[in-house]
Amino acid sequence: RVKCRCLQLISELYPIYPEADRTSDMVTDAEAIIKLLGDYSNSEDARVRCEAFQSLLTLNERGQTLGAALYEPACAALADDYEIVREAALKLVWLLGNKYPENSVTLQDGETTIRMVDDAFIRMCSAVNDLCMAVRALACTLLGTTRAVSDRFLLQTLDKQLMSNMKKKRTAHERGAELVRSGAWASGRRWADDAPGALVETSC
């Protein structure tokens, strides 16, 4: 609790000056504060990790510019075991995606690049399937306020591919037909078609 309170006070009390009045020393100090808060997102305590992201969001609300370098750790936190961390990280992903839409993000294959806002949009779509209802609700809210997303990703969402983790949803009829083909269900078209394989061979 002490660490959480300290992070909160830093974000609320750190002096932020208008960009036109900032000297190079002020910029350096601000970057050091942002790095300090960002480092605590790796804390062993989930409450501290959550407060680290929330403090960064507070700094942004007060007028401090957050760098695009925070995007990667925020994305990593979307897989955190604690929903409070995932929720705060999702807000930061949305913020940075909208702030730096044209920045390039390298995917896991190490070769493919994608616009940051598109990557953020995909991650928010995945968060719609989160186990926590609060995270799902937040993801839906943020999706509606995400700007400049590429048309192809919007169309994939309407086609339910992004929402289902890039797996196309099948109808009940399609799922049933696959079960019939696999032998899990009997079709009823042939006598004893649901009998064990050995029994069917014997009867033939």
Model confidence at 165: pLDDT above 80: no
**Total domain count for the chain?**
2
Statement to judge: residues 163 and 102 lie in one domain: yes
Q: Is residue 193 part of a domain?
A: no
Model confidence at 203: pLDDT above 50: no
Q: Is residue 186 part of a domain?
A: no
Q: Is residue 189 part of a domain?
A: no
Return the pLDDT at 153. Answer: 85
Return the pLDDT at 168. Answer: 47
Spatial separation of the C-alpha atoms in residues 143 and 64, rounded to whole Å: 24
Of the ranges 24-33, 106-115, 127-136, which one carries the lowest mean pLDDT score?
A: 106-115
Give the domain range for residue 53: 1-66
Spatial separation of the C-alpha atoms in residues 71 and 56, rounded to whole Å: 12
Model confidence at 113: pLDDT above 80: yes
Return the pLDDT at 28. Answer: 92
Spatial separation of the C-alpha atoms in residues 173 and 169, rounded to whole Å: 12
Mean pLDDT over residues 143-153, rounded?
A: 89
Statement to judge: residues 50 and 105 lie in one domain: no
Statement to judge: residues 88 and 25 lie in one domain: no
Of 66, 83, 110, which marks where a domain is finished? 66
Return the pLDDT at 177. Answer: 58
Mean pLDDT over residues 103-115, rounded?
A: 86
Statement to judge: residues 85 and 148 lie in one domain: yes
Statement to judge: residues 34 and 85 lie in one domain: no
Return the pLDDT at 199. Answer: 47
Of 44, 66, 88, which marks where a domain is finished? 66
Q: Is residue 138 part of a domain?
A: yes
Return the pLDDT at 107. Answer: 83
Statement to judge: residues 141 and 93 lie in one domain: yes
Statement to judge: residues 122 and 150 lie in one domain: yes
Of 13, 38, 66, which marks where a domain is finished? 66
pLDDT 10s digits, 43-101: 999 999 999 999 999 999 999 999 999 999 999 999 999 999 999 999 999 999 999 99
Q: How many CB atoms lie within 10 A of CB 55?
A: 27
Burial status of residue 81 (CB atoms within 10 A of its CB: 0-12, 13-18, 19 or more): exposed
Averaged pLDDT score across all residues of the chain: 83
Q: Which residues pair with 114 in a beta bridge?
A: 105
Q: How does residue 15 score in pLDDT terms, banded at 50, 70 and 90?
A: very high
pLDDT 10s digits, 178-197: 655 555 444 454 455 555 55
Structure tokens belonging to residue 138: 């937040």
Q: What residues have CB less than 8 Å from 161, skipping those under 6 apart?
A: 167, 168
Q: Is residue 187 part of a domain?
A: no
Spatial separation of the C-alpha atoms in residues 42 and 51, rounded to whole Å: 11
Statement to judge: residues 42 and 56 lie in one domain: yes
Statement to judge: residues 131 and 154 lie in one domain: yes
